[in-house]
Amino acid sequence: MSIILTPAQRDFLDGRHYAIVGTLNSDGSIQQTVVWYMLDGDEIRFSVSAGSVKASNLRRLSTITVTVEDGPRYLSLNGEAVVEPADPELRRRLALRYLGPEKAAEWLVRRPDTPRASVRMTVRRAYGQGV
C-alpha cells in the first residue's frame, strides 16, 4: 500500500531537482545513482539503461530509496519499484523537464541503440526536513 504524499511533499517533488536512487547489490552493499525523475500521480518514475546495475538490482529485489535534496531541504522516500519496458514518452517528458524544449530533442537522439527501461516506484514511507 502506498502512502499519500502531503501537498508540501508533492510541491517539492514537482520542483526540478535531481534524485539519488539507492538499490541493494547482490552482496548486500548499497548502489547509488543520481537520476532525473518525475512525480507521476503518487509514484516516482525514471528512465534507466535496461542493463544498468540499478535495473538489475531492482529486478532481483524491488526495495528502493530515493532522496531528493535542495540545499538544507530534502525528502527521502522508501518503497518498492518495478522495472518496466522502455517508455519513450516518459523519457521525452524527463528531457523536457530537465533540459527544456531546445535541448531535449537533441538529447533524445543520442545513444539510440542503448536499450532502455522505465522504473515505477510506489512510495511506502516519506520523511525529510523543510518539506
Per-domain boundaries in the chain: 7-87+115-129
Report the relative pairing of strands 43-49 and 116-129 from DSSP bridges.
antiparallel
From first to last of the 131 residues of the chain, give the pLDDT tens digit: 778 999 999 999 999 999 999 999 999 999 999 999 999 999 999 999 999 999 999 999 999 999 999 999 999 999 999 999 999 999 999 999 999 998 998 888 886 667 999 999 999 999 999 99
Phi–psi pair at 107, nearest 5 degrees: -65, -40
Distance CA 82, CA 30 (A): 18
Report the amino acid identity of residue 72. P
> 3-class SS at 14?
helix
Domain 7-87+115-129: assigned CATH number: 2.30.110.10
The cell for 48 is: 534507466
